[in-house]
Amino acid sequence: MALIEELDRSGSWLFRWRSFMPLVLYVMAALVIFLGQDVHMEHFDLSWSLICLGIAMLGQFIRAVTIGHTPKGTSGRNTKEGQVAEVLNTKGIYSVVRHPLYLGNFFMWLGIIMYVGNWWFTAVCCLLYWLYYERIMFTEEYFLRHKFGQSYLQWSEKVPAFWPRLTQWTSSDADFSMRNVLKREYSGFFAVFLSFALVDAMKNYVRYEYTDWRLVDPFWQYAFAFGLCCFVLLRSLKKYTNVLNVAGREFM
């Protein structure tokens, strides 16, 4: 098999299993904490917690901007069966970066990883993230190049793959839909708060051997409760009502 086909095949395989990547990061984070290597943040610090949460929310904001402007059938939306694209998306956030959803994912996980408290662990996770998603991005771009030909090449020549070039922003033709964001992002939003609470619980268990309500610091208790309320409310609206449905924004 030629290398280009092998890269495409491995990228497709990694895409199908990408949902399990957080589990690997959880295990790695647990090892760092239980081995006492979280030396750069041994105790709860509100300022550092806010910084880490802010970085994670930056990632959520990038995803929201992307999803809020993305209509049905455009590039940037894939399924378990493979790539899906009827139209090449080149405006909005796609005018400054080719893979905004993966950029958003990166910042969401970066904030959580930084909260673990080991700079070497943070650096290793960033490297692993890049190696993992580089194959996936290759597969997506391989598909788009064959489907859209010269239009894709012209777009990719001026738009960077991962780090945005904000000076060339072009407004999207689609209006921003907050309902579409709420419908699609509520689980990921909750997962951020759940992840911070889990990391905090592991740190307190190892450092202080807490097994009661102190296992999670009050700041993360309130943050988790907020995320959980949002999750229950939005999941109920999605499952039992049509409030979050938006014409032309339905996805598989």
Model pLDDT, residue 124? 94
In a domain, 112, yes or no: yes
CATH of the domain at 133: 1.20.120.1630
In a domain, 187, yes or no: no
**Number of Cβ atoms within 10 Å of the Cβ of 211:** 9
In a domain, 244, yes or no: no
pLDDT in tens, 175-221: 888 999 999 999 999 999 999 999 999 999 988 877 777 899 999 99
Helical axes 100-116 vs 46-69, angle rounded to 10°: 170
Instruction: Report the pLDDT averaged over residues 66-87.
Output: 64
Cα(132)–Cα(18) distance, rounded to whole angstroms?
9
Cα(88)–Cα(223) distance, rounded to whole angstroms?
38
Model pLDDT, residue 175? 85
The structure tokens listed for 4 are: 């280009």
Q: Where are the alpha helices (DSSP H) in the chain?
A: 3-16, 21-34, 46-69, 100-116, 119-148, 150-158, 178-208, 218-240
Q: How many domains does the chain have?
A: 1
Q: Which of 9-13, 74-78, 164-168 has the highest mean pLDDT?
A: 164-168
In a domain, 235, yes or no: no
In a domain, 166, yes or no: yes
Residue 13 structural domain: 3-175
Residue 108 has pLDDT above 90, yes or no: yes
Model pLDDT, residue 241? 92
Confidence band, pLDDT 50/70/90 cuts, at residue 250: low
Confidence band, pLDDT 50/70/90 cuts, at residue 252: very low
Residue 154 has pLDDT above 60, yes or no: yes
Model pLDDT, residue 223? 97
Strand-pair partners of 74: 87
pTM, rounded to two decimals? 0.87
Average pLDDT, the chain: 85
Model pLDDT, residue 56? 97
Model pLDDT, residue 151? 86
Exposed/middle/buried for residue 229 (C-beta within 10 Å: 0-12, 13-18, 19+): exposed
Residue 81 has pLDDT above 70, yes or no: no
Cα(176)–Cα(210) distance, rounded to whole angstroms?
45
In a domain, 243, yes or no: no
In a domain, 238, yes or no: no
**Number of Cβ atoms within 10 Å of the Cβ of 180:** 24
pLDDT in tens, 22-55: 788 889 999 999 888 888 777 788 999 999 999 9
Residue 11 has pLDDT above 80, yes or no: no
Instruction: Report the pLDDT averaged over residues 7-25.
Output: 70
In a domain, 88, yes or no: yes
Q: What is the share, in percent, of the chain residues with pLDDT greater than 70? A: 85
Three-class SS state of 61: helix
Confidence band, pLDDT 50/70/90 cuts, at residue 14: low
